[in-house]
Structure 1
Amino acid sequence: MSGGVGPIAIETRDVIKRYAGNTAVNQVSLQVKRGEFVSLLGPSGCGKTTLLRLLGGLEQPDEGAVLLSGQDVSGIPAYGRNTNMIFQQLALFPHMDVFNNIAYGLKVRKTPKSEIKRRVQDMLELVQLGDYSRRAISRLSGGQAQRVAIARALINKPEVLLLDEPLSALDMQLRLDMQRELKRIQREFGGTFIFVTHDQNEAMNMSDRIGVMRDGKLLQYGTPDEIYERPVDSFVAKFIGDTNLLQVKMLVEEEGRVWVQAGGLKLAVRPQEGLPAISAGSKASLSIRYEYLRTGEAANSCVNRLEGIVTESVYGGASIRYTLDMGGHIQLQASSLYQRGDARYAPGDSLLIGFNPEDGLLLPNEASVHRESSL
């Protein structure tokens, strides 16, 4: 049942959805290829669930179009589309056992009993519940119930499976286990999954591509590494991963470097390709990921070398995160790889840190562009 990424499975073209005068989804264009695992990521109220419901036919756009395998399905309700959705509340039928929960969609379609038995068993094997067909729903663990819901949603072979934060009620370890399990099922089934979450780590761990949303707009759509390493603006940079965001003033550009000022610090950075030029004298955001700041002796080879006072040291096993007071009300955080025996710094210690121009991203303060990865 495996399959590779192929043509466009589902897309939206400039869709708009309003509720009582408020725009929940604002001119969103999104293309998802067949066989992709895509996550829609953003804070509560950003429009990601509304967009998912538009894709599934549970809501209809006020403007724009939704296309499934190239066919315009705008206005067609959920039952008329070959899609399926899993919600946070799994809504399994408590009076039915595992087999009959999974078989329900086939029975509605009056599928022959022999085919129902074969296909349900195939699904049970896919979700690794082969011996659970007669188990009562009340006797399942949280992770087992999740897998039954997935099997039930996939039994009719939907072109696209839509998932609305289905893992959010699970504890941390089970959630991590289910992330791996869900990705395995998607890969083996060969289907197209679109997953809504507000958890950046969940999106990064599972996705082929991520759409970051805010205030109903799709700010950026790209692979996890594109969004992490080349965020389109300061909001995306802060929302995906840990980063220092400094408000800076543009000074001068020379030899491919831009000199900026942050408080009493003068720093050399490299502007991000594909974003509008930021003129001298204007304000911007400088993003420096915690792990891109080198500490101690490793900082000596950097173009930008700074000295700060450690105010906090957090031991994380393989790394240590330092918070430093740089003076002028500026704080920076640096995450340093740690091996037993390495130098460790305590609050009050002076610590040299550094970074090179390519490690700092100069970004607009707000999304002034919409950038898509190549499709």
Structure 2
Amino acid sequence: MMKITGFKSFVASAVGRQKNLGSINEYVLNMHQVKVDSKTRKNILTIDNFAVRPGELVAVLGPNGAGKSTMLRTINMLQPYRGQIQLFGQDASYANQTNLRRRSALVFQETLLLDDTVFNNVARVLQFRGVPKHQIKQRVYTALETFGCEHLAYRSARSLSGGEGKRVCIASGLVADSELLLLDEPSASLDVAIRPQIIEKIRQWAQDRGSAVILVSHNFTDILNFADRAIALFDGCIIQDDKLENLIRRPANQQIARLVGMDNIIPCKIKPGDRGYLIKLANSLEFFYPGELKTTITACCLSSDAFYLDHTNSSIPYQPGVVRLEGRVERILRGIGTDTIRFQLGEQILTAKLRRGYTSENIYRHGKIKLAFSPTDVHFV
């Protein structure tokens, strides 16, 4: 009788992978213990667990060299890897990778177009996916019109400006209505004036079709206008995977706090007390924090919009335990509806954003400013 031990082992292994990677209907992407190395560098990417559900809009943040582009190429099966990647419920190591790629789309950071007309560049995406010929023309023109480049349809791709080429690449990436969009710096090369419009059109396109999107961008405004969820990537590892608002206001460490532009990161020491924890800031300010804290914290983070003017006309009601401080105004940056105040407290320069009506007459450079904030608005790292 023929032994089928090997087959049983293969089936058991496949079942184990399926348990690790989750339900085939729950995720469009599921990565488990994925590692990417190169001949010159190990651990370019080390993803323990990362999953994306249908329709999710996820942003990837990180400094240069963090592995963001490598992560997108790995998901698109353009980068050798170790570990397990499941796409659309199928193990990418055993499934037909060409078919899986056709269900997703990667828009590279670089402008990559064939030496052909704009129309043919976009149309080829549909031709590769076997879209009937009679549907192609309308879909191409719809994509080109959406991203403001229908007038370029019969121009040579080689004659386009950087911004025009980028919009054509975006149209090419989205024309197939893929289930998963991988966007690497989609606003790069675009004029500042149209970046928000293009990002909004991508978001609307994806939501109308129920597509999941993973977006990489150094432009934080792109991320704010686009994503519901964000991951922070450092040295190829996911340090924080959270709702975007939590990642901005509750960063996991000082690296992420700086990455998301936290206005005030102040060194501090903590001391347990009867009413909670006594927080001693580097600028000699002290206050009590009522919640639970880890003893390993080294800094407190305070968003600039947590401050309010400490005077009788303030619209913010008095709160027990409020922290009051007095500083000297170093600079006033006037804005629409909100002014940004840079002020000195001890040896540190801090930032507060205040409603314009409260600052226009009461605050001036080198003058004193009295501010307050609630201890519950402080985040510790």
Map residues 200-239 of structure 1 onto 2, 5 A cutoff: 200-239=220-259
Deviation at 1:83, TM superposition (A): 2.1
Deviation at 1:252, TM superposition (A): 1.6
Please give the alpha-carbon distance, in whole angstroms, between the structure 1 residues aligned to 2:141 and 2:365.
Answer: 59
Please give the alpha-carbon distance, in whole angstroms, between the structure 2 residues aligned to 1:159 and 1:360.
Answer: 39
1:339 to 325, 343, 357: 357
Aligned to 2:43, the other structure's residue is in SS state strand
Aligned to 1:22, the other structure's residue is in SS state coil
**Which amino acid in structure 2 is aligned with residue 343 of structure 1?**
E
Deviations 1:197-243 (A, max 9, x none): 12222212111211111121111112221212322222222322432
Is the 2:45–2:236 contact (alpha carbons within 8 Å) kept by the matching residues of 1? yes
Give the corresponding residue for 1:258: 277
Deviations 1:281-319 (A, max 9, x none): x55210110110112414893511011111222222322
Give the corresponding residue for 1:293: 307
Larger radius of gyration: 2
Please give the alpha-carbon distance, in whole angstroms, between the structure 2 residues aligned to 1:194 and 1:177.
Answer: 18
Closer/same/farther in 2, CA of residues 344 and 320 from structure 1, 3 Å limit: farther
Is the 1:295–1:354 contact (alpha carbons within 8 Å) kept by the matching residues of 2? yes
Deviation at 1:138, TM superposition (A): 6.0
Report the aligned-residue RMSD.
Answer: 2.8
1:54 to 71, 74, 83: 74
Please give the alpha-carbon distance, in whole angstroms, between the structure 2 residues aligned to 1:27 and 1:221.
Answer: 12
Give the corresponding residue for 1:305: 324
Identity of aligned residues (%): 26
Give the corresponding residue for 1:14: 33
**TM-score normalised to the size of structure 1?**
0.82
Please give the alpha-carbon distance, in whole angstroms, between the structure 1 residues aligned to 2:223 and 2:254.
Answer: 19
**Which amino acid in structure 1 is aligned with residue 56 of structure 2?**
E
Map residues 1-375 of structure 1 onto 2, 5 A cutoff: 7-19=26-38, 20-62=40-82, 64-74=83-93, 79-81=98-100, 82-96=103-117, 98-108=118-128, 111-124=131-144, 127=147, 133-137=153-157, 145-255=165-275, 257-263=276-282, 264-271=284-291, 277-279=293-295, 283-297=297-311, 298=314, 301=318, 303-327=322-346, 329-339=347-357, 342-363=360-381
Which shows bigger deviation, 330-339 or 122-131?
Answer: 122-131
Please give the alpha-carbon distance, in whole angstroms, between the structure 2 residues aligned to 1:123 and 1:135.
Answer: 16
Please give the alpha-carbon distance, in whole angstroms, between the structure 1 residues aligned to 2:273 and 2:98.
Answer: 57
Runs of 5+ consecutive residues of structure 1 not aligned to the other structure: 1-5, 364-375
Give the corresponding residue for 1:366: none
Is the 1:269–1:361 contact (alpha carbons within 8 Å) kept by the matching residues of 2? no
Deviation at 1:158, TM superposition (A): 2.8
Greater RCO (CA < 8 Å, at least 6 residues apart): 1
Deviation at 1:128, TM superposition (A): 6.2
Deviation at 1:346, TM superposition (A): 2.0
Deviation at 1:14, TM superposition (A): 2.1
Closer/same/farther in 2, CA of residues 101 and 226 from structure 1, 3 Å limit: same
Higher helix share: 2
Aligned to 2:215, the other structure's residue is in SS state strand
Count of residue pairs the alignment pairs up: 348
Is the 1:89–1:166 contact (alpha carbons within 8 Å) kept by the matching residues of 2? no
Deviation at 1:76, TM superposition (A): 6.8
Higher strand share: 1
Is the 2:231–2:242 contact (alpha carbons within 8 Å) kept by the matching residues of 1? yes
Deviations 1:221-273 (A, max 9, x none): 12221212322222222322432111111112444x4221113211223557x
**Which amino acid in structure 1 is aligned with residue 125 of structure 2?**
G
